[in-house]
């Protein structure tokens, strides 16, 4: 997966916006104003942070060296994924989907309706 495919995949999700709230080096993809993926633009390898169920996060970190505790994030709920060829595109998309769904499910009913 390359950066353009990652960006396109995120932007096709309903109600997703792309923002640069931390400056030009980090793209944040949000659903209804809440972040589900942070994409670093200043690293040698493509890497991004996604939200993850805490138990699943631990399992993924133990299974894949390219899945690490979320850099500059709450390490219980976020993983950093380094795209180094270890994970295939399907696995990466599943992690993005999981993050998006966690955020959508955490939205209040009021926010979901607007």
Q: Over 80: is that where the pLDDT of 113 sits?
A: no
Task: Give me the pLDDT at residue 10, please.
Answer: 98
The number of residues in the chain equals: 114
Task: Give yes or no for residue 112 having a pLDDT over 80.
Answer: no
What does the pLDDT look like over 5-62, one tens digit per residue? Answer: 999 999 999 999 999 999 999 999 999 999 999 999 998 889 999 999 999 999 999 9
pLDDT tens string 26-40:
999 999 999 999 999
Go through the domains of the chain in sequence order and give each one's CATH number. 3-106 (3.90.1150.30)
Percent pLDDT > 70 in the chain is 99
Looking at residue 114, its pLDDT comes to: 64
The stretches of the chain forming alpha helices (DSSP H) are 3-11, 54-63, 89-106, 109-113
Q: Which helix (H) or strand (E) holds 51?
A: strand 47-51
């Amino acid at each position: 997966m390359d950066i353009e495919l990652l960006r396109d995949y995120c932007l096709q999700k309903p109600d997703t916006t792309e923002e640069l709230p931390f400056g030009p080096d980090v793209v944040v993809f949000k659903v209804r104003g809440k972040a589900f993926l942070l994409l670093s633009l200043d690293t040698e390898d493509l890497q991004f942070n996604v939200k993850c169920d805490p138990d699943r996060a631990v399992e993924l970190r133990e299974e894949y060296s390219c899945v690490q505790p979320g850099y500059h994030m709450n390490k219980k709920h976020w993983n950093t994924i380094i795209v180094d060829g270890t994970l295939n595109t399907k696995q990466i998309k599943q992690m993005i989907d999981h993050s998006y769904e966690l955020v959508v499910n955490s939205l209040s009913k009021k926010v979901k309706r607007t």
